[in-house]
Structure formats: C-alpha cells, structure tokens
Copies of this chain bind each other. A is one copy, B any other.
Amino acid sequence: MSTPAPPGRVTIKDVAAAAGVSKGAVSLAFNNKPGVSEATRERIFAAARRLGWAPNSAARSLSRQSVDTVGLALCRPARLLGLEPFYMEFISGIESVLAEHDCSLLLRLVGSLDEEITLQERWWRERQVDGSILVDFHQDDPRIGPLRRLGLPAVGVGHPSLTGGFPSVWTDDATAVAEAVRYLAALGHRRIARVGGPADLGHSGIRAQAFERTMDELGLGGGRHVETAFSGEEGARATRMLLLGADRPTAIVYDNDIMAVAGLGVASEMGVSVPDDLSLLAWDDSQLCRLTHPTLSAMSHDVHGFGAEVARVLFDVLAGQEVSSRPVATPSLMPRGSTAPPRP
C-alpha cells in the first residue's frame, strides 16, 4: 500500500488530514461520541490504523484534567516486601479493576511515612495521579492531616477508626483474631502467644487488643505477645524467645505467613514437634502455607478481592460520590497440619 508512517511522530492532525476531516472529528470518533457518521468514523479508524496513531496521553491529560493513574506508596523495606506474598496479590487485585477503566498504577517504595507524605504531595500537586491508595495506617497516622488538607482523593486500607476521614476498606481483624484464639482454646490450648507487627501499626494494634480481650474472656489471662517488624528473621527470633522462656506456649498465632514459616523452622531447629508440642497459626494464607511440612493452618482471606474492592471504592471517590467505608470478608480459619490439641 501507500502512505508509510511519517518520519516524525504522528499526531491527530495527520490522522485528520488522512481521513479528510478536522481534528475535532477524529477526537469524537475515538471517544465514541456522537457527531460523526458511521462511514466517517470508519474512515477515521482506518486512517489511524494505517498511520499507527494513538492519542498522546500527556495532551489528553492536559485538556481532560485527569491522568487515569492512581498512586500507591509502600512503606516497608523491599527485603520484607518481597517476602510478603500479601502485597503482590493485593496489587494484582487493584490492577484487575484499574485495567477495566484503562487506568494505571503508579507504584513507589518509600522509606518512611514522612517520605510518603512528600511523595503524595508531589504526585497530587503535579497531577501525576488522580488519587491514591493509602495503606499501613498507624495510630494517629501522620499522613492524615497533610493529605486531607491537600484535598487528595484517596481511599484508606484499614479500619475506619484509623483512616481519619478517608473512606476505607478493611477486614475485620478483631473478629478474625477472636476466631483464631477460640479455635486454639477449643483444641485445648491454654498458653497461647501471639507474634505480631509493631503496636503502632494500626491493624497490629487492633489485633493485639482483640487477642487480649478474647484471652481474657476465655479466662486464659492476657496472653503474651511479641512485637516484630514482620520480617522472617524477627519472627524466628520471637519464636525462639517464646519457646525458651518460662511457661512456654503451646500455640502461637502469627501476623503473617512468613513469620509463621520462620516459626516452623525454629521449632524444627529446637526439636519442638509441630503440631504435637506446638501449634502454629499463620495469617493471610498465601500458597506458602501449603508448601511446608506440616502445612500451616492459617487465617485465610481473599487478598486479590480485597485489592479489587479498594480500587472500586477509589473509583467511586474519583467519581465524586459520597462513599462510606466498607468491610470486606472477614478472614476465616483454614485448619491444616500445624494445629492440633496440645499433648496432654
């Protein structure tokens, strides 16, 4: 055929010329708006295809005043993130919904919440994002004030009591912790410990409280927790500490999968048999829980769906709807090989 692609970049003007119409018509055709006849529309598409044209996103963003991009900053060292199956799964859930809207995810790893504040301010001021997803809320999270003042459209991942006015999506961790503890108690465990995240991290705090409350209700005393930073190494250290201490627990609940795996390693290293001498319960239930021996019982939830729901709420926010916070399904127990009645 003829008309090889022009040497420089091809713009809407070239397409318009090739189809014998004005720029406006091309724009209408490509945005599926009325105002061009079917025949013309076809001609325009043909010309665009022939020239290999697609609308320049910067130009479109400029006049549309929206960039079809949302931001997500993760504030944990990469070494930990890579190990947490949670996030990739969560991200993929987010993306599955974004893709339906031709929207992109801007991902950034940051070192601290202050760094995230700076980043989000830049993203918003420079209009690099239409809105953001905020995760890992802390008690009195420092991001809330600055970002709310900024007017950044955002959705928070975490209990509404933590997200300070940002619409939120959360799992009911308190109920899930209660279920976990009651299950272990029902098996006959009386000395139950918990290896959690840092207490100032919102959901860790909630889980910690729920743990103590449930233990109290069952008349098992406060129960011990150890705080860690979610890393496998610290999970191992915490487990070692618990197993070496007086009043060794017969069951341990972990705040994520990786620490539970590490705990299993420690038990094996110390010659403590799982589940005979020690029951272990993981959290999140990634595939990792099925790879160990024994397999890990876990509090299981649909992380992909969680991410998807978060994205949906963000779109509601962006559409200007007044959205209310909403919970997604509560994690539920998936018993496997690492939990059993304690040895008499």
Which A residues contact B (CB, under 8 angstroms)? Answer: 52-59, 61-62, 67, 78-79, 81-89, 91-93, 95, 104-109, 122, 125-128, 231-233, 235-236, 258, 261-262, 264-266, 268-269, 286-288, 290-293, 304
Contact = CB atoms under 8 A, between A and B. Distances in A.
Given A57-B67, A231-B287, A266-B293, 10 more contacts: A54-B126, A56-B127, A57-B126, A87-B88, A95-B109, A232-B288, A258-B291, A261-B288, A261-B291, A268-B268
- Which has the most chain B C-beta neighbours within 10 Å: A56, A57, A61, A261? A57
Specify the main secondary structure of chain A where it touches its partner.
Answer: helix
Given A82-B85, A292-B261, A126 B56 contact: yes
A24 to B, nearest CB: 19
Contacts of A86: 82
Contacts of A81: 88, 92
B127 A52 contact: no
Contacts of A92: 78, 81-82, 109
Contacts of A88: 78, 81-83, 87-88
A54 B125 contact: yes
Closest 5 CB pairs of A and B: A78-B92, A82-B88, A54-B125, A58-B61, A82-B85
Nearest to A56: B127
Nearest to A303: B82
Given A58-B61, A106-B104, A107-B107, A265 B293 contact: yes
Contact of A108 (B59, B104, B262, B286): B104
Contacts of A122: 54
